[in-house]
Every structure is written in structure tokens, then in C-alpha cells.
Amino acid sequence: MSTATQSPMKDPQREMLRHVVATLAYRAGKTLRGVPESFADFRASEHTRKPVEILAHMGDLADWALSIVSGNQKWNDSKPLLWSKEVERFFAALQALDAYLASDKPLHGDVKKLFQGGLADALTHTGQIALLRGIAGCPMRGENYYAAKIEAGRVGIEQAAPVREF
């Protein structure tokens, strides 16, 4: 008689959220890497936020998502730090969120609302920063994101190389 080691059943909602967080890390990483120092304070018009202000908000969104899933919902409006510090803060917040989602701790909040709120908002802001890069004269290459090597748990600034850019 053989004894097979069974791994615990994975929660599909957690796994999907982890994939969304990894997707956010991949796409944001691409938009945040390789910009000139001056980009942080670029303003497309008097009515738009600076990239560093958008990035600070993205860090707040990731912190908020963690506060929701951990059952202690709290919002914070952070004052923007230097670009490099905001990049670090954003990815640290994604790592903390992913670590919670990967744990066996209780998942609080409505998963669909978590996606439609903070996570989808952060993806939108990633696109805003990508657009601002082009306007500021430091565009990034497009990519076939369907082919991208995105994996749950890979949520830092360092990501897999693009598979197909154009």
C-alpha cells in the first residue's frame, strides 16, 4: 500500500488574487523601471498628477488591499517620497499582500470587491504612468502580456524578461 502525500487544497479565489497581484507587479515593474530621474515630477498639464503622486497612491492602494484581506480595513493618503523610495514602498506593499494571500490566515472582505476596488485601480494607474512616459519622452515598448511569464509569488521589481515586445 502506498502512502501519497497530499498537499492542502488551494483556494481558487486566493490563487486568482495572487495572480492579479503578480500581474500588477509585472506590468507596474515594466512602467516603473528605466525612467529618468526627472520623470517623477513630470506633469502633463496643470490638472494631472505627477507620476510620483500616482505611484504613492498605488502604494496606498496595495496597503489598503492588505488591510481589507487581514480584516482591519484602513485607508491612508501618503505624501509622496522620492521616486526610488516610492518604487520600493509599492513593491514592499505588494509583497506583504501576496504573503498574506499565500498564508493560511483568514481571508476577509469580498474578493470581487477587492479586485474591482484597489487592485483594478492600481492597474489603471499603471496604465496612466505608461501613458505619461510616452508624453514625457521616455516611452516603453508594448508587449504581448498574454505570453508574459507571470507567476504568483513573483511580486518584486525584478520580473521575468518579456517574451514578445513590439
- What pLDDT digit, counting tens, does each position of 114-127 carry? 999 999 999 999 99
What is the reported pTM?
0.94
Distance between CA 55 and CA 39 in Å, rounded? 12
Q: Are 157 and 91 in contact (CB under 8 A)?
A: yes
User: Residue 65, class by beta-carbon neighbours within 10 Å (0-12 exposed, 13-18 middle, 19+ buried)?
Assistant: buried
- Interatomic CA distance for residues 17 and 69, integer angstroms: 11
What DSSP string runs through 60-73? HHHHHHHHHHTT--
pLDDT of amino acid 3? 44
Domain residue extents for the chain: 12-147
- Tens digits of residue pLDDT in 55-91: 999 999 999 999 999 999 999 999 999 999 999 999 9
As beta bridge partners, residue 122 has none
* pLDDT tens digit sequence for 14-61: 999 999 999 999 999 999 999 999 999 999 999 999 999 999 999 999
For residues 104 and 5, which has the higher predicted lDDT (pLDDT)? 104
Cβ atoms within 10 Å, residue 53: 17
Rounded Cα–Cα distance for residues 123 and 125 (Å): 5
12-147 domain in CATH 1.20.120.450? yes
